[in-house]
Amino acid sequence: MNPNILQTPIDYLKGVGPNRAALLRSELGIHAYQDLVNLFPNRYIDKTRYYKINELQRSGAEMQIIGKLMHLKTVEQKRGKRLVAKFIDDTGEMELVWFRGHKWIRENLKLNVPYVIFGKVNYYNGFSMPHPEMELLSEHEKNLKIAMQPIYPSTEKLSNKGITNRVISKMMQQVFIETKVRFYDTLSTDILESLKLISKSEAVLNIHFPKNQELLAKAQFRLKFEELFYIQLQLITKNLIRKQKVKGYPFTEVGEHFNSFYSNHLPFDLTNAQKRVIKEIRNDMGSSAQMNRLLQGDVGSGKTIVGLMAMLLAIDNGFQACLMAPTAILANQHYQGIQELVQELPITVKLLMGSTKTKERRVLHEELEAGTLNILIGTHAILEDKVIFKNLGLAIIDEQHRFGVAQRSKLWHKNKYPPHVLVMTATPIPRTLAMSLYGDLDISVIDELPPGRKAIKTVHRFDSNRLKVFKFIEDEIEKGRQIYIVYPLIQESEAMDYKDLMDGYESIARSFSQPKYQISIVHGQMKPADKDYEMDRFVKGETQIMVATTVIEVGVNVPNASVMIIESAERFGLSQLHQLRGRVGRGAEQSFCILMTSHKLSEDSKTRLETMVRTNDGFEIAEVDLKLRGPGDIMGTQQSGVLNLKIADIVKDNDILKLARSYALKILKEDPSLGMEKHKVLLYTYQQMAKHKNIWNYIS
């Protein structure tokens, strides 16, 4: 088929016209025939079966029945009237009901003639069907048989303007009549034969007009595989090209700084997971390609030590390193931690933030350019044009989802060659999502906690148990421990949340009164200096209880705090709950997380709370979160455009994703440029995708 016919603007399709075309463009992003063909149904109604009235079930399902209308009558009701018809077949009778459009229906319905009716069956003193779809049996037999009726994605605006599901189905039939349903195949013969896939034309036809369940399943598998295969092909190619083209500095030297720190200054033995990850990083930085690695590890798994050892490698090879964090609190904490770890080594470390004084900055800039400053730690301030390195060899980015792509690329341009990049995150990204979103990054995972850490015990308590919880807090403070109590803060209901926080603070202050107890409070409406002062008192152990909104989510490290109480826990997302829980359990003592809620809980909230109580494994939690929220939400807005999938679902089609990735890897290993004759079709399709972003707009 001439693929150009698919580029025809949708306005030219019979039955569309300029007004409908404008709506299809704005509501569903359909510009050309190709976009309409790629509008896949959400679900299907099975019209392969005709039911008899005596077979009807009280399931509220949609059913199709053949029978005759016997008589019509109007029935008065509280508001207005309803029109009721008696409908019979050879096994029984039921009612058809209309609440509006009586006049038109009365004029157009014929009595005692066979009809096919379709609709949702209700039961109340007998079966009835409100507002059925009706078609004369004689007409029904003539029409193009769509056994399984597709239901297409739609919007309220489209329905209001008369573009119903039926209208979209008619357009779809028209596009298939005009294009004669011949699509060139986009997958190689090898793949088709190896996976026993149906052809592209067959798949596209059966996704829209499936003859039966079996053909529909084959069509779905074929199209999902293809979509995920090309995404993986693109991500893996990007990674390979980057490794060939983007030269990095080879760090071949494992020298004095690295060895001395490893042998004499490690505060504890490294876990096997940490050793494995350091080895992966050393291999990357030792080659002449630029490292681009994502390091995932739960809160407290020891990512900072791994990051520091990578920095020492850079210094051993005569380069500088920097670490960029999203908040001042976190940057400061990294600075304190690293400063402490390297104090015995001849290394200079400095901190740069928005609040850094001009005088200090001047010195810092001079030392950076001279190369006497080895490690720079800071916030976005590192990205300013004034910050110039003598030779930046490694850039570490913490909690990368807080930084956009543009910000990352600014770091690249601070050097002749781009530095090696290590991205660290404590937000566990499920494997499935990591394969799709970060398929162009190599991934390392620290999946064990340092020895001596006890797993945090998590329990769920209702508000009615509050007194018992207060008693527990008292006992823990007696043992010399500290407590966090966190309240939700959602932008939309800020005033209400602030009131909850203050009410909560007052009731805690009454139960834990001075001078025996001291309480810190931290929330978003405080001045930064006041916040820091309160935080500092808690860190020093001058206060036993810290009442806060979620400002403490990232980067507060108080080993002595052993209890995290989360108020209205049902209002937090899973990853937030997991992050908050990670604030305790940093010392050698047993730590606890208590999730407080009211008795009114949605099903999703129950699932979230049960998951938190059941497991401490960040990756398992991320998988549940992904199922509950879907991939778009997990990554936040800046990443959501990445996976505008047409038919596949990253969560439900996890197995197909893995299969697609394994095929893409195998093919690129054998033929990185897709130059072989047997891969010609893959290369052509791939190039077409790159050219027509609008066709395959799921390729990010």
Phi-psi label, residue 462: left if phi above 0, alpha if psi -120 to 50, beta otherwise: beta
Type of residue numbered 15: G
Query: What 3-state class would DSSP assign to 656?
Result: helix
Yes or no: say if 699 and 230 are a contact pair by the CB < 8 Å rule: yes
- Separation between Cα atoms, residue 364 and residue 424, nearest integer Å: 25
pLDDT averaged per 10 residues, the chain (length 700): 76 91 92 91 83 84 90 86 93 92 86 92 89 89 72 86 88 89 87 95 92 87 94 85 79 91 89 94 88 83 91 95 87 89 93 91 94 93 89 86 61 76 81 66 81 86 92 94 85 66 87 90 82 86 87 65 92 86 83 94 91 88 79 43 69 83 93 93 87 40
Check if the beta carbon of residue 547 is closer than 8 Å to that of residue 485: yes
Q: What is the DSSP string of 544-600?
A: SEEEE-GGGSSS---TTEEEEEETTGGGS-HHHHHHHHTTS--SSS--EEEEEE-S-
How confident is the model at residue 493, as a pLDDT?
61
Specify the DSSP class assigned to residue 13: S
- Element housing 504 (H / E): helix 494-511
Single pTM value for the model: 0.62
Backbone CA torsion sign across 670, 675, 677, 678: positive
**Tens digit of pLDDT for each residue in 198-248?**
999 999 999 999 877 788 899 999 999 999 999 889 888 887 877 777 777
Q: What pLDDT shows up at residue 242?
A: 75
Residue (of 147, 143, 121) closest to 132 by Cα position: 121
Task: Report how far residue 370's alpha carbon sits from residue 348's, in angstroms, rounded to the nearest whole number.
Answer: 13
- Report the length, in residues, of the chain: 700
Pairing mode, strands 62-76 and 81-89 = antiparallel
Of 229, 235, 666, 272, the residue nearest 442 (C-alpha): 235
The type of residue at 521 is I
Across 632-651, b (16+ Cβ under 10 Å) vs e yields bebbeeebeebbebebbebb
3-state secondary structure of 149: strand
C-alpha distances (whole Å) from 460 to each of 134, 292, 485, 567 are 53, 40, 14, 11
Q: Is the peptide bond before 631 cis (omega within 30 degrees of 0)?
A: no
The structure tokens listed for 617 are 């494994």
One fold for 256-446 and 457-615:
yes
Q: Which CATH superfamily is domain 256-446 in?
A: P-loop containing nucleotide triphosphate hydrolases (3.40.50.300)
Which fold is adopted by the domain 457-615? Rossmann fold (3.40.50)
d(CA 197, CA 159): 36
Closest by CA to 483, choosing from 507, 517, 452, 432, is 517
The full DSSP string for 219-264 is: HHHHHHHHHHHHHHHHHHHHHHHHHHHSB--------HHHHHIIII
What separation, in Å, do the N-terminal and C-terminal C-alpha atoms of the chain show? 27
Burial class (CB in 10 A: 0-12, 13-18, 19+), 177: exposed
Across-strand partners of 293?
Answer: 422, 442
> Taking the mean position of all CA atoms in its chain, how far away is CA 528?
32
pLDDT for residue 297? 84
- Residues of the chain with pLDDT > 90, as a percent, come to 42
Q: Are 21 and 35 in contact (CB under 8 A)?
A: no
Position 123 scores a pLDDT of 85
Residue 320, both tokens: 């500088």
CB atoms within 10 A of CB 359: 8
Cα dihedral 336, 342, 344, 349, rounded to 10, equals: -70
CATH of 48-145, one of 3.30.360.10, 3.30.70.20, 3.40.50.720, 2.40.50.140: 2.40.50.140
Of 186, 190, 184, nearest to 671 (Cα)?
190
Q: What's the pLDDT at 699?
A: 28
Q: For the chain, what are the domain ranges?
A: 3-45+153-182, 48-145, 256-446, 457-615
% helix, strand, coil for the chain, step of 5: 45, 20, 35
